[in-house]
Structure 1
Amino acid sequence: MAAVILKGFITDDGQLKVEVPPDLPPGPVEVEIRAKTADVQGVTVGALLESGLVGLWKDREDITDTVEFARELRKRASRRKSVWQKPQP
């Protein structure tokens, strides 16, 4: 089967819109959709420091060992299932 890459878009009502080249023969096709994602912009260190997030928990009295606290948060986060993960057999 010959492969042809076509660019198109999906409408708000779920329709796939593409322009098919006139020389493409009629017949069944297989469609693979690779949705483009929006570009993600990073954050500078300066913007992060100015955001107020750094040091947000500095006055918490319930966190005595910050290293252990962070380790426990990471451990819990790693156990959470992502909505994108496939179920394990």
Structure 2
Amino acid sequence: MEAVQVHQVIAKDGEIRITGLPYKKGQAVEVIVLLPPAASRPRARLTVGRLRKSGLIGLWQDRDDIGDSSVYARELREEAQARGEIRL
């Protein structure tokens, strides 16, 4: 099945007008209307002050199972990247 994606803004409640399609009169088509995902909320910026107050700095300092936290963090990032799971 061939698909053509067209973006339109609803100008009148309950109506969509689509023009410029590459099809001829009499051809049967199926139309599926999808709403775009809701816009995500903007993220609050993380300032140095907020980072210091967050408790993230020094989070691993008392763990006995982590020798060098920088090395440990790098290894975690490398493992996640190998799985394709790093999201920023």
- Superposition TM-score, scaled by structure 2 size: 0.51
Within 5 A, what are the aligned runs for 1:44-83? 44-80=47-83
Q: CA deviation at 1:66?
A: 2.7
Partner of 1:33: 35
Root-mean-square deviation (CA, aligned residues, Å) is: 3.6
Instruction: Report the 3-state secondary structure (helix = DSSP H, G, I; strand = E; otherwise coil) of the residue aligned with 2:33.
Output: coil
How many Å separate the matches in 2 of 1:71 and 1:81?
15
Q: CA deviation at 1:46?
A: 1.2
Instruction: Report the 3-state secondary structure (helix = DSSP H, G, I; strand = E; otherwise coil) of the residue aligned with 2:43.
Output: coil
Q: Does 1:19 align with 2:13?
A: yes
In structure 2, the CA distance between the partners of 1:20 and 1:63, relative to structure 1 (3 Å rule), is: same
Tell me, which stretches of 5 or more residues in structure 2 are unaligned? 19-28
Q: CA deviation at 1:24?
A: 4.5
Instruction: Report the 3-state secondary structure (helix = DSSP H, G, I; strand = E; otherwise coil) of the residue aligned with 1:48.
Output: helix
Question: Highest relative contact order (Cα 8 Å, sep 6+), 1 or 2?
Answer: 1
How many Å separate the matches in 2 of 1:28 and 1:20?
17
How many Å separate the matches in 2 of 1:24 and 1:62?
63
Q: Which amino acid aligns with 2:13?
A: E
The structure that has the greater radius of gyration is 2
Tell me, which stretches of 5 or more residues in structure 1 are unaligned? 8-17, 83-89
Deviations 1:11-49 (A, max 9, x none): xxxxxxx9234x849x96332331123313223221121
